[in-house]
């Protein structure tokens, strides 16, 4: 997929260069912009509060399980094998429920990921609107996101619009202030070509390094998730198999007790 994006970019670039004789391109560092926005920090704090609440609930459920385990070990010498089995079954059941709850809240498609997307989306819309405004006003051909996913292999600092985008968002949120052209004019010196070659080389190297690190992290995360899923499925199958065996043994013991009771009553 990333390679196809790269080929698409090269195709657009080649076509535009041959048809128009030149391009006007810029980029935006989305991470930098979001971190500078108070709304983003507020949304992140809200999400952190919810996450902490879920962690507290998980901790409470785990404490309950630990308490049952401790009671079982303390009382084991005084309990019948049947009661021991019942308590062990209850502990296994609660452990499986806790695992399901943890995945529901913090899993790959859990509430944390979903709500993070819901909280961040409106803020990202502000950024995209500002990008659209600056793109229209300055007649840019392309404005890319400065990230590994965007495959930005060349990122001269003079093309960085991140500060401009921040100023436009702040201006729009206040409902007044400088015009778009005035905001851009303030940063013309920042966009100068002085030492551009050195900055471009550093940016390119950093982008490539980030891409390599991200690919390694993604591969490691995928492998860990596959192992966790496999282990969880195996544990679930073993739990169900063991529970079925226990229930069957209980039924057999009950039939034996009923048979003995009937025999005594008949005698």
Q: What is the pLDDT of residue 1?
A: 44
- Could you tell me if residue 266 is inside a domain? no
Q: Are 24 and 139 within 8 A, CB to CB?
A: yes
Quote the domain boundaries for residue 151. Answer: 24-203
Calpha distance 111→117 (Å, rounded) = 10
The alpha-helical segments, DSSP class H, found in 107-195 are 111-138, 162-174, 180-185
Q: How many CB atoms lie within 10 A of CB 79?
A: 13
Nearest to 127 by CA among 53, 32, 193, 205: 32
Q: What is the pLDDT of residue 238?
A: 82
Calpha distance 164→209 (Å, rounded) = 26
CB neighbour list of residue 172: distance below 8 Å, 6 or more residues apart: 126, 129, 130
Q: What is the pLDDT of residue 53?
A: 94
- Could you tell me if residue 17 is inside a domain? no
- Could you tell me if residue 246 is inside a domain? no
Q: How many domains does the chain have?
A: 1
Nearest to 47 by CA among 113, 122, 121: 113
Q: Can you spell out the DSSP letters for 33-64?
A: HHHH-HHHHHHHHHHHHHHHHHHHHHHHHHHH
- Could you tell me if residue 132 is inside a domain? yes
Q: What is the pLDDT of residue 54?
A: 94
Calpha distance 26→142 (Å, rounded) = 6
- Could you tell me if residue 93 is inside a domain? yes
C-alpha dihedral over 154, 160, 161, 167, to 10 degrees?
160
- Could you tell me if residue 238 is inside a domain? no
Separation of first and last alpha carbons in the chain: 81
Tokens 């596959």 belong to 226
- Could you tell me if residue 227 is inside a domain? no
- 10 dihedral zone (left: phi>0; alpha: psi -120 to 50; beta): alpha
C-alpha dihedral over 138, 142, 146, 152, to 10 degrees?
-140
Which pTM was predicted? 0.44
Q: What is the pLDDT along the chain (267 residues), one digit of tens a residue?
A: 444 344 344 444 444 444 444 677 888 888 888 888 888 888 888 889 999 999 999 999 999 999 989 998 998 888 888 888 888 999 999 999 999 999 999 988 889 988 888 877 788 788 888 888 888 877 777 788 876 566 554 555 667 778 888 888 887 776 655 555 555 555 444 444 445 556 667 777 788 888 888 878 888 888 888 887 788 788 788 878 887 887 787 788 788 777 777 777 776
Q: What is the pLDDT of residue 105?
A: 92
- Could you tell me if residue 16 is inside a domain? no
């Amino acid at each position: 997929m990333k390679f196809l994006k790269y080929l698409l970019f090269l195709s657009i670039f080649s076509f535009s260069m041959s048809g128009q004789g030149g391009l006007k391109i810029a980029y935006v560092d989305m991470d930098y912009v979001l971190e500078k926005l108070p709304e983003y920090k507020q949304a992140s704090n809200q999400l952190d509060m919810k996450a902490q609440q879920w962690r507290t609930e998980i901790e409470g459920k785990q404490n309950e399980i630990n308490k049952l385990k401790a009671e079982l070990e303390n009382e084991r010498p005084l309990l019948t094998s049947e009661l021991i089995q019942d308590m062990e079954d209850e502990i296994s059941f609660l452990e499986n429920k806790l695992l399901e709850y943890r995945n529901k809240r913090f899993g790959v498609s859990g509430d944390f990921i979903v709500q993070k997307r819901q909280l961040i989306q409106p803020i990202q819309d502000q950024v995209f609107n500002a990008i659209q405004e600056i793109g229209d006003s300055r007649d840019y051909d392309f404005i890319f996101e400065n990230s590994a996913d965007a495959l930005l292999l060349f990122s001269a600092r003079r093309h960085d619009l991140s500060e401009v985008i921040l100023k436009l968002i702040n201006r729009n949120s206040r409902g007044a202030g400088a015009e778009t052209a005035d905001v851009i004019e303030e940063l013309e010196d920042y966009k100068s070509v002085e030492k551009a070659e050195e900055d471009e080389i550093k940016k390119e190297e950093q982008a490539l390094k980030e891409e390599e690190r991200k690919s390694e992290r993604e591969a490691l995360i995928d492998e860990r998730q596959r192992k966790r899923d496999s282990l969880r499925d195996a544990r679930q199958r073993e739990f169900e198999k063991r529970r079925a065996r226990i229930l069957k043994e209980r039924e057999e013991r009950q039939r034996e007790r009923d048979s003995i009771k009937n025999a005594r009553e008949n005698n």
